[in-house]
A and B are shown apart, each in its own frame.
Chain A
Amino acid sequence: MIEIKNISKSFNGRKVLDDISGVFRDGETSLVIGASGTGKSVLLKCMLDLVSPDTGEVFYDGREFLHKSEKERIDLRREMGVLFQGGALFDSQTVFQNVKFPLDMLTKQSEAEKRDRVEFCLKRVGLEAAGSRMPSEISGGMKKRVGIARAIVLNPKYLFCDEPNSGLDPLTSIKIDELIQEITQEYGTTTVVITHDMNSVLSIGQNIKFLYQGKKIWEGDSNSILTTHLQELDEFVFSNHALKQLRG
């Protein structure tokens, strides 16, 4: 379980995150949704301590993260897997080396063990044949898959995905969403997914937090999101007129 408390962050005097608190539960895919530029990625980076928030605390299963010593933070980070927006694959390395990278850097496993683990992860995301390709040679959807494989290679307890389906066609998007959902259930990870894609909201949203101009103004699940009457949420959810008419 991840708990965040009163996170605020300003850039050059402009408030990007305003006093955000909330809980992300184990074995569940929690979504953070909102329009572009509302600070979703900044919130994620605050939780990972890539950006230091001005105020606030983050607890991983009760362990405070941001104010720990460097070493303790590094140890905790090894329990996290992150899929960045574009995949963030190292473009000088092959797909196989990308997935193997965390094992090389952070574990003392033998080459054979590492190879088995990488092959297992690549297979899990359906890319067992692409190991020798370079990131520049594979499609956007494959990059995200490789990103997921790299994020889960160390068996993380916490999985973070920043817009896992941005820039993908609807079908590929859904496949990626399903993959994340399956991994969450199989390994019981605490999964945080950032998205602005209504398809994923409706299909994998067990817990949804809605950000609007840096504030969390709504929280619920994929059933209640359609029935709630909140103007800002309505604008986001029913930006599509056809959907609006469906609701009547």
Chain B
Amino acid sequence: MFRKFGKFLLFLYELFTRRESLKVYWKRFIDECMMIGVDSLLIVCIVAFFIGAVTCVQINANLVSPLIPTYIVSNIVRDMMLLELSSTFMCVILAGKVGSNIASELGTMRITEQVEALEVMGINAASYLVLPKVLAAFVMFPVLSVLSGFIGIVGGYIAGTATGIITPEQYIYGIRFSFIPFNMVIPIIKSAVFGILIATISAYKGFYTRGGALEVGKVSTTAVTNSCIAILIADYLLAELLT
């Protein structure tokens, strides 16, 4: 357990030694941003929209009381989206997509000796392959998170107004009611941290794959489960730190 963690730290250190030229990294970084960010847009939009819609309907169903003003519904939708759903929940979903993608890509490269082929050319394969992925995750996860927060609130608006739970004016009022600007920053910080966790853990798992196609499958499963556990632990720690 401790040895594995030590190996993981050495792997991270390796990422920052013996780097290639910035131009090479820039190109790789853009490619990875496409893969991590742009390719995840659809799933993020769909999930966020429905999460927002369901949250709105559920809160209304559980809060029927003449004492509570209706705008509280959208107020709670906003806080839930910003504080947990757009970061933690979204990143758990993305761990399944991005994490398994990273692990299986690197695992396949390892077992087909593509990693060795890079090293023979004198290229630091860990750094060349992994660092752009980690940076892309660091940049793209917050973007996806902000987007999902926005879409979720829109989802709540559409579900709420379409079913007559809440009027558009009340919804907007609730969104703006007792707004704490720092709550906008929280999902950005959280998702950046989770993005780094997913990318490094999955890359580590994939990079040290041994064996054949079967192992690549296993490795991408463990990459996802380990990333999810790391996210949840980090979520708890960040909740203590940020609030």
Within 8 A of B (CB), among A92-125: 101-102, 104-106
- CB atoms of B122 and A106 under 8 A apart: yes
- CB atoms of A89 and B122 under 8 A apart: no
Within 8 A of A (CB), among B91-132: 108-109, 112-114, 116-117, 119-123
Instruction: Please report the C-alpha to C-alpha distance between residue A57 and residue B113 in the assembled complex, in whole angstroms.
Output: 24
Complex interface bits, A178-222 against B, C-beta within 8 A gives 1, otherwise 0: 000000000000000000000000000000000000000000000
Q: Which residues of A contact B122 (CB under 8 A)?
A: 73-75, 77-78, 106
Q: How many A-B residue pairs have CB under 8 A?
A: 45
Instruction: Please report the C-alpha to C-alpha distance between residue A78 and residue B116 in the assembled complex, in whole angstroms.
Output: 14
Q: Which residues of A contact B113 (CB under 8 A)?
A: 84-86, 88
Q: Does B176 contact A (CB under 8 A)?
A: no
Q: Which residues of A contact B109 (CB under 8 A)?
A: 90
Q: Which residues of A contact B117 (CB under 8 A)?
A: 82, 84, 88, 90
Q: Does B7 contact A (CB under 8 A)?
A: no
Partner of B116, one of A75, A84, A105, A106: A84
Q: Which of the four size classes fits the interface of chain B?
A: 10 to 19
Complex interface bits, A160-191 against B, C-beta within 8 A gives 1, otherwise 0: 00000000000000000000000000000000
- The interface on chain A, measured as residues whose beta carbon lies within 8 A of the other chain's beta carbons, has a size of 23
- CB atoms of B121 and A106 under 8 A apart: yes
- CB atoms of A105 and B119 under 8 A apart: no
Q: Which residues of B contact A102 (CB under 8 A)?
A: 121
Instruction: Please report the C-alpha to C-alpha distance between residue A32 and residue B117 in the assembled complex, in whole angstroms.
Output: 20
Complex interface bits, A37-63 against B, C-beta within 8 A gives 1, otherwise 0: 000000001001010000000000000
A44 to chain B, nearest CB (A): 10
Partner of A88, one of B18, B20, B112, B123: B112
Closest to B17 in A: A70
Instruction: Please report the C-alpha to C-alpha distance between residue A85 and residue B113 in the assembled complex, in whole angstroms.
Output: 8
Closest to A84 in B: B113
Lowest 8 A-B CB distances belong to which pairs?
A74-B122, A88-B113, A84-B113, A88-B117, A77-B122, A82-B120, A88-B114, A50-B116
9 extra interchain contacts, Cβ-Cβ under 8 A, other than A77-B120, A106-B122?
A50-B120, A77-B121, A77-B122, A82-B117, A82-B120, A84-B113, A90-B109, A91-B114, A104-B24
Write the residues of chain A forming the contact surface with B, with a CB cutoff of 8 angstroms: 45, 48, 50, 70, 73-75, 77-78, 80, 82, 84-86, 88-91, 101-102, 104-106
